Amino acid sequence: MNSNDIIDKLLNGEIKLYQVDREFPADEATDIRRKFLEKKYSISLDNIGNYSIDMQRASARNIENSIGVLQLPMGVAGPLKINGDYCKRDVFIPLATSEGALVASINRGASTITASGGVNTHVISDIMTRAPVIKTESAQQSLKIKQWFIDNFNELKEIAESTTSHGKLIKIDPILVVGSYIYPRFVYSTGDSMGMNMVTIATEKILDKMACETDAHHIALSGNVCVDKKPASINMIEGRGKSVIADILIPKDIVEKKLKTTAEAMQEVNIAKNLIGSAAGGSLSYNAHYANMVAAIFLATGQDAAHVVEGSLGITTAEARDGDLYFSVNLPDLPVATVGGGTSLEVANEGLNILGVAGSGKAREFAEIVAATVLAGELSLVGALAAGHLARAHQELGRG
């Protein structure tokens, strides 16, 4: 059958979208599905069909029922000077966003940081978690299964690590018991991979062992105590992905010159907005807009966009110190990778190359860059609010 025959069969409901891949290479199958949509809805999808990525590779690793690509504007901010444990250099940050004024704001923060001698960054934890939910007959049996995990940790560690050359099981903590349900939180290190698939496979092997030796059975491989792709206090406290902190002391004259305000005004805005306001609203995050920076750099570098909800967790502090400004951000839950997943897509790899962190051995350096970028954006917005410039900036840049 030729492509027109397949499109007619799709329109008539004789075959399903995924079945096109059985008859055609990925790039042709992509075109067929897109043309099917164009014909079905009498629309044009020329821009979705304009791409340069290897669709054969993407279809094997990253997407199903492909029809083309999404394009977003990408800008760059910098130079941003970083004095980190892993990143010790100036960087230019690629940012993919459709929010006007965001790149300009981050650029202003980067300029302020660089003029002040750079931002200090530290990766304080590097873990990935998976927490299944297990069912027993009673709370008493649940406690016995909890003890089974504790008593057999060394053997379970060997089983988990037999499934991967990079992952290491660090601990099982906490092991929550809720009546006849148990939620053990398996904590792994995963190297330069973000590691969700890695820890899922390793945990499944442990559960197979449990099924052989006990009467308990797991209900779901993820029981939501992980906690993956959702905001959660446990991740704020225990950390997940890379846990990173960044801080800087900005001299008084640079605060006034670059941010057009004072350290005292920025301290008051941070307390009133980020701390008290967040608490009053019942937020789990105590910051101005971490999600903006995390989302823009994630999209530019092929990270899992759903993890923006975790990366947006964190607390901003601002202190006036004799006119100077001490400013910090903490990101306890930043799942990032420099290998695997979407990082292998051509555009994403180019974004990582701009940062100099593509490939193995670069994940912690990348995490420090993300934290530094978050501080730049946070610093700029809090400064704009303190100076009363936020609405004016959007107006001058023509943004609604």
Q: Is 64 a catalytic residue?
A: no
Handedness of CA 213, 216, 220, 224 (dihedral sign): negative
Given 122, 166, 389, 394, which residue is catalytic? 394
| Annotation says 253 is catalytic | no
Amino acid at 48: I
Active site residue 99: yes
Conformational region of residue 269, where left means phi above 0, alpha means psi within -120 to 50, and beta covers everything else? alpha
Query: Hey, what amino acid is at 128?
Result: M
Residues with Cβ within 8 Å of residue 155, at least 6 apart in sequence:
209
DSSP 271: I
Which of the following is catalytic: 304, 333, 368, 378? Answer: 304
Helix (H) or strand (E) holding 292: helix 290-301
CA dist., res. 154 & res. 170, Å (int): 10
Q: What tokens appear for 176 in the block?
A: 């929550």
Q: Token pair for residue 190? A: 């995963």
Environment class of 392 (CB within 10 Å of its CB; exposed 0-12, middle 13-18, buried 19+): exposed
Specify the 3-state DSSP secondary structure of 17.
helix
Nearest-angstrom CA–CA distance, 286 and 94: 25
Catalytic residue among 8, 28, 54, 99: 99
Phi, psi of 22 (to 5 degrees): -75, -20
Element (H, E) at 321: strand 315-321
Give the span between the Cα atoms of 318 and 341, in whole angstroms: 36
- What residue type is assigned to position 144 of the chain? K
Cβ neighbours of residue 249 closer than 8 Å, sequence gap 6 or more: 116, 321, 324, 325, 326, 327
The residues annotated with a catalytic role in the active site are 99, 304, 394
